Amino acid sequence: MNSALEEVKKKMEKSLKNFKEELSHIRTGRASIALLEAIKVDCYGTKMPIPQIATVNVVEGKMLVIQPWDINLVKEIEKAIQKSDLGINPTSDGKTIKLIMPPLTEERRKELIKVASKLAEEARIAIRNIRRDVLEKFKTAKKKGEISEDDYLQLEKKVQKLTDEYIEKINTALKEKEKEILAP
């Protein structure tokens, strides 16, 4: 049954990783290349994230400079940024695109914290669902006589401990993101 616990840990780790990745796409007052990873650009017949088709640099913490490897993609990148929910208008000189991060309003900060909180709750639910599924497997094994009542109770405690641990990691990541959003 240790392999089942390892599987549970892998699934919870994956849920945590997905949550942290989703958080990285939420804009704060600082410029971050991660903001552009969720924006897909039509190029060469497929949709690709901006960092895969251009060099992206953070300048002075408040500006992103995008230099496409193919100059013909400048207009497509601009369109993709304008269609995204970043809320930033790109400026271009025909070769590079600049994104200046405007300071967040208090209202926008509150909205972003709500979005982050919603993502955190979804991640917590995913963790709890993993716990529920594995406990069902253990109950079935107990009913079939594959594991004893004592083994079941030990496994239940271990799964609960993992669940608590990963929910705490989600809460910690959320608090860090809230600090980022609220930072001037």
DSSP string, 91-129: EE-SS-EEEE-PPPPHHHHHHHHHHHHHHHHHHHHHHHH
pLDDT of residue 89: 86
Amino acid residing at 179: K
Q: Is 67 in the same domain as 155? A: no
| pLDDT band, residue 180 (cuts 50/70/90) | confident
Q: Is 134 in the same domain as 73? A: no
Query: How many structural domains are present in the chain?
Result: 2
Q: Is 110 in the same domain as 176? A: yes
pTM comes to 0.75
Sign of CA pseudo-dihedral 136, 11, 19, 178: positive
* pLDDT tens digit sequence for 126-167: 999 999 999 999 999 999 999 999 999 999 999 999 999 999
Q: Point out the domain boundary residue: 100, 119, 134.
A: 100
- Domain of residue 128, CATH code: 1.10.132.20
Q: Is 82 in the same domain as 17? A: no
Q: Point out the domain boundary residue: 100, 128, 143.
A: 100
The encoded tokens of residue 174 equal 């959320």
Percentage, residues of the chain above pLDDT 90: 53
33 in helix, strand or coil?
coil
Q: Is 41 in the same domain as 96? A: yes
Range of the domain at 47: 33-100
* pLDDT tens digit sequence for 102-126: 888 888 889 889 999 999 999 999 9
Q: Is 139 in the same domain as 49? A: no
Would you say residue 34 has pLDDT above 90?
no
Distance, in Å, from the CA atom of 154 to the CA atom of 89, rounded to the nearest integer, reads 56
Q: Is 138 in the same domain as 152? A: yes
pLDDT of residue 1: 64
Q: Is 45 in the same domain as 64? A: yes
What values do phi and psi take at 118, rounded to 5? -65, -45
Q: Is 71 in the same domain as 119? A: no
Q: Point out the domain boundary residue: 84, 100, 116.
A: 100
pLDDT of residue 88: 81
Q: Is 112 in the same domain as 165? A: yes
Q: Is 46 in the same domain as 15? A: no
- Domain of residue 95, CATH code: 3.30.1360.40
Q: Is 109 in the same domain as 178? A: yes
Cβ partners under 8 Å of residue 110, min gap 6:
none
